[in-house]
A and B are shown apart, each in its own frame.
Chain A
Amino acid sequence: MPLPARFSRVFTGLFHAVLTLLLIASLSGLQAQDVDQALYDAGEKVFKGNCASCHKPDANMTGPALKGARERWDGKGDIYAWIRNSQEYLKTGNEYANKLFEEWNKSVMTPMALSDEEIDAVLYYADNYAPPAPKGGGDVAQAPTGPTDAGSLWPWMLVLILLFVVVALSLTGVKKSLANAVQEAEGREPLPDRTFVQSVQEWAWNNKGLATVIGLAVTVWVVLALWNFAWTIGVYGGDEVAHYRPEQPIAFNHTLHAGSAGDGNLAINCQYCHSGAEKSKHAGIPSANVCMNCHQAVNQGRTEAGTADIQKIYAAVGWDPETMKYTGEPEPIRWVKVHNLPDHVYFPHDAHVAVAKLECQECHGPIDKEMTVAEQWAPLTMGWCIECHGDKAVKLAGTDNGYYEEMHRRLIENEKLGHRELKKWLEDEKVTVKELGGWECAKCHY
């Protein structure tokens, strides 16, 4: 016998011996202390390829947790036959198998063409399952970004100014009592007790020119400050003000769910949840059944706070994670609306998403990259709308939109005929929203 073949025989023998030992160990209820990494990995591979759609190693999902399955089956039937073809095995009338089938809502398990070794490996993997360390990304405790950082300097400046005023005032007081002491020592009347305002008035009277200049400067500064402040009233986004970023009942992390896969995030398309964006005026806050499309299977967050928030979804839809059934007692989630437009102005999402083919981020900012808390990024003022309508080129061709296709056709065909208006539009080599009527009042105020 050639050497390699002998080796392989020895190895197979050893493998089977180890397997038998492990089997005996698990059958007698003993946990193997040292995990056989090769067998574990082999089991993981088979598990991920065949079982992971419906089973978890350590928790119930569509089917029961595989951990301890062999123990549960011990003496009650043939687990190998059951795994290979459950429907066939049910016909043998095995009591435990039929009980399981009833318990799990009669869901039929796909027949699996697995060898005994593969089944052993899977069960070994499940019994020794150690959850992997969580991957990066989705850091909830990120510092908020944006103009709030610059704004936080203000209070400190004011404290400094206040401190200066207090020191100046007390120094004036000290100076005055010293002067009075001198007056008293020289036997003269103490200085008249003037208030701060009176002394300022006296100083201004004596320095009229300088006082006028300072007074004017202060007035201009105050008027300008008020004017600028007035522009920010009712504006919750943009570069001028701190973004409106209300605390939500569930701290949904947009970065974790929609961020790029390269950073360890889930990269779910925005429209998976906001599926109204293409069809309706509203992009829509997803109803909780959309959350449950995934969270039926995902009940653990990456952080403890995340896990707690997932429980809030369960409370909202009335889902009992223990029995994996709906209780029929839902309680709506009271989301706080972030983007508010005044009444009498209308913004249709469908026209901007489906027709104009804008990216969500053009108005909502880097919500998938930086915003762990949803915030209003754009100012949503009329000036902001108008500016974009006046500047943005309409993507006329290739939008599958009959209206624009027709516009495009006329532009192409009529230019030769000297259609003046159309030619004027094309002077800057683009057709803007404004040129198609995007500045008409009734476009937005209807």
Chain B
Amino acid sequence: MTLHTRSLPALSALVILAACGGDPNSPGIEYMPDMYRSPAVEAYVDYGQDPYYFEDSAVVAQRNTQSARLPVAGTVPFSQDPAKAALNFPYPYPNTPEGYEQAGAELRAPLPMTEANVEQGKVIYEKFCVHCHGPKGEGDGSVVKNGGYPVPPSYTKADPPGLKSLPEGKIFHSLTYGKNVAMGSHASQLTKEERWLVTRYVQFLQNGGNMPGALPAETADTVATDQDTAAN
């Protein structure tokens, strides 16, 4: 039939244009796919795409190579800054109720309680803590209010389970390992230094949003205790 042969180009044009029209799963046409997707494993390479020119075995191998890796076992982040020497040491307290108590009793912040540190801590707090603990640490963040999340104890209440008198060692311990089921470990998101900065800001909130005028005795001799901790 002549009609069919005549409409074939039109039909195929329709199919091609419809195909280009926008399948959200397709990244479209690429000029040089091998420059977009190199055989070397790159961070967050897309496993879903065919690397075009490689043999099947290589494709399978690439798809099964995980680009997100753990740090090499036994390594710690290292800073050459002598002021941050204490941060180089591995965290000595285990993730147990005993470790929590011990950290509360012994562990002291290597960073002094200064306005600059509190200010830096605030920036981190407002990214990593505020959605649960609330802007003033009263446990009224958006996740709690809108998500029905377990209510974190308030930093400003002294009666249990209020955390007004929670010592800095316990704050840092909770940030490192998490606390209970509701708070997970934040060690993968925050470096030790950042965790200490947040700790300082939490202490600032415990004090009702004021700089502690007279520092508690244990924080005044920070440098000395710091060296003790390092020596341990």
Q: Do A and B bind each other?
A: yes
Residues of A bordering B, CB below 8 Å: 48-50, 52-54, 56, 61-62, 106-108, 110-113, 132, 135, 137, 144, 147-148, 151-152, 154-155, 158-159, 161-162, 165-166, 169-170, 195-196, 232-236, 241-247, 261, 264-269, 271-272, 275, 281-282, 285, 287, 289-290, 292-294, 296-298, 324, 332, 334-337, 340, 342-344, 373, 375
Pair B28/A62 contact, Cβ less than 8 Å: no
Please give, as numbers and ranges, the residues of chain B lying within 8 Å of A54 by CB-CB distance: 150, 180-182
> Quick check: A244 and B24 within 8 Å, CB to CB?
yes
User: Chain A contacts of B142 at CB under 8 A?
Assistant: 261, 265-268
A162-B11, A246-B48 as given contacts; A272 in contact with B146, CB under 8 Å: no
Given contacts A132-B148, A152-B21, contact A236 B131 (CB under 8 A): no
Apart from the given pairs A53-B153, A170-B3, A233-B31, 5 other A-B contacts in the complex at a CB distance below 8 Å: A48-B151, A155-B17, A265-B142, A285-B68, A332-B68
Evaluate contact between A233 and B181: CB separation under 8 angstroms: no
Tell me the minimal C-beta distance from A89 to chain B in angstroms. Answer: 15
* Residues of chain A contacted by B55 (CB below 8 angstroms): none
Q: Which of B31, B146, B149, B160 is in CB contact (< 8 Å) with A261?
A: B146
Given A154-B17, A287-B68, A337-B44, A52 and B151 contact (CB-CB distance below 8 Å): yes
How far apart are B130's CB and chain A's nearest CB, in angstroms?
A: 8
27 A–B pairs (Cβ distance < 8 Å), ordered by A: A52-B151, A53-B151, A53-B161, A107-B97, A147-B22, A148-B22, A154-B17, A155-B17, A162-B11, A165-B7, A166-B7, A195-B2, A234-B28, A234-B29, A246-B48, A267-B146, A271-B128, A275-B189, A287-B188, A289-B185, A296-B181, A298-B149, A332-B68, A340-B36, A342-B36, A343-B36, A344-B35
* Cα of A335 to Cα of B45 in the assembled complex, Å: 9
* Residue B165, interface by CB 8 Å: no
B14 on the A face (CB < 8 A): yes
* Contact indicator A297/B182 (Cβ below 8 Å): yes
Interface pair B185/A293, CB less than 8 Å apart: yes
Closest Cβ of chain A to B19, distance in Å, is 10
Q: Which of B28, B146, B149 contacts A232 (CB 8 A)?
A: B28
Whether A162 pairs with B147 at a CB distance below 8 angstroms is: no
- A108-B183 Cα distance, complex, nearest whole Å: 16
Contact status of A110 and B160, CB under 8 A, knowing A265-B146, A293-B185: yes
Q: Roughly how many angstroms separate A247 CA and B24 CA in the complex, as a whole number? A: 8
**Number of residue pairs spanning A and B whose beta carbons lie under 8 angstroms apart:** 195
Give bound CA distance, A227 to B47, whole Å: 32
What is the number of residues of chain B that contact chain A, defined by CB distance less than 8 Å?
A: 65
- Chain A hits for B97, CB < 8 A: 106-108
Task: Please determine whether B147 and A247 come into contact, CB atoms closer than 8 angstroms.
Answer: no
B28 touches A233 (CB 8 A): yes
B188 and A334 contact, CB distance less than 8 A: no
- Residues from chain A with a CB closer than 8 A to the CB of B149 are 294, 297-298
For chain B, what secondary structure do more than half of its interface residues adopt (helix, strand, loop), or is it mixed? loop
Among the listed B6, B25, B153, B183, which residue makes an inter-chain contact with A247, where contact means beta carbons less than 8 Å apart?
Answer: B25
CB distance from B59 to the nearest CB of A (A): 14
Complex interface bits, B5-32 against A, C-beta within 8 A gives 1, otherwise 0: 0110011011001100110111111111
Let me know if A53 and B182 touch, CB within 8 A.
yes
Within 8 A of A (CB), among B34-49: 35-38, 43-48
Quick one: which of B6, B146, B189 contacts A196, CB cutoff 8 A?
Answer: B6
- Asked if B136 is at the interface (CB within 8 A of a chain A CB), the reply is no
Check B79 for interface membership: any CB of A closer than 8 A. no
Q: Please give, as numbers and ranges, the residues of chain A lying within 8 Å of B227 by CB-CB distance.
A: none
Closest Cβ of chain B: how far from A261's Cβ, in Å? 4
Q: How far is the CA of A197 from the CA of B97 in the complex (A)?
A: 88
Please tell me if the beta carbons of B28 and A162 are within 8 angstroms of each other in the complex. Answer: no
A233-B30 in contact (CB<8A): yes
Q: How many whole Å from A355's CB to the nearest CB in chain B?
A: 15
**When chains A and B are docked, how far (Å) is the Cα of A143 from the Cα of B81?**
53
Supposing A62-B180, A162-B14 touch, asked if A343 and B35 sit within 8 A by C-beta, the answer is yes
Q: Which residue of B lies closest to A114 (CB)?
A: B160
Q: Mark B118-132, 1 if CB is under 8 A from A, else 0.
A: 000000001110110
CA distance A232 to B21 in the complex (A): 12
List chain A residues, Cβ under 8 A from B146. 135, 137, 261, 264-267
| Alpha-carbon separation in the docked complex, A162 to B182 (Å) | 61
Which residues of chain B come closer than 8 Å to A244, judged between CB atoms? 24, 26-28
Contact among B47, B130, B143 with A336 in the assembled complex (CB-CB below 8 Å)? B47
The docked-state distance in angstroms from the alpha carbon of A232 to that of B190 is: 40
Residue of A nearest to B154 (CB): A49
- Residues A236 and B150 in contact in the complex (CB < 8 Å), given A297-B181, A340-B36: no
**Are B183 and A293 in touch, CB under 8 angstroms?**
yes
Report the minimum CB–CB distance from A87 to chain B (whole Å): 11
* Shortest distance from the beta carbon of B230 to any chain A beta carbon, whole Å: 25
Given known A52-B150, A110-B161, contact A162–B48 (CB-CB < 8 A): no
Please determine whether B131 and A62 come into contact, CB atoms closer than 8 angstroms.
Answer: no
Of the residues B32, B159, B184, B185, contact of A342 by C-beta under 8 Å: B32
Residues of B within 8 A of A52 (CB): 150-151
B21 A242 Cβ-Cβ under 8 A:
yes
Do the beta carbons of B131 and A269 come within 8 Å of each other?
A: yes
How distant is B38 from chain A, measured CB to nearest CB, in Å? 5
Query: Can you name the residue of chain A whose Cβ is closest to the Cβ of B70?
Result: A287
Considering the complex, give the chain A residue whose CB is closest to the CB of B30.
A234
Q: How far is the CA of A234 from the CA of B30 in the complex (A)?
A: 4
A154/B24 contact (C-beta < 8 A), A56-B150, A337-B46 known: no
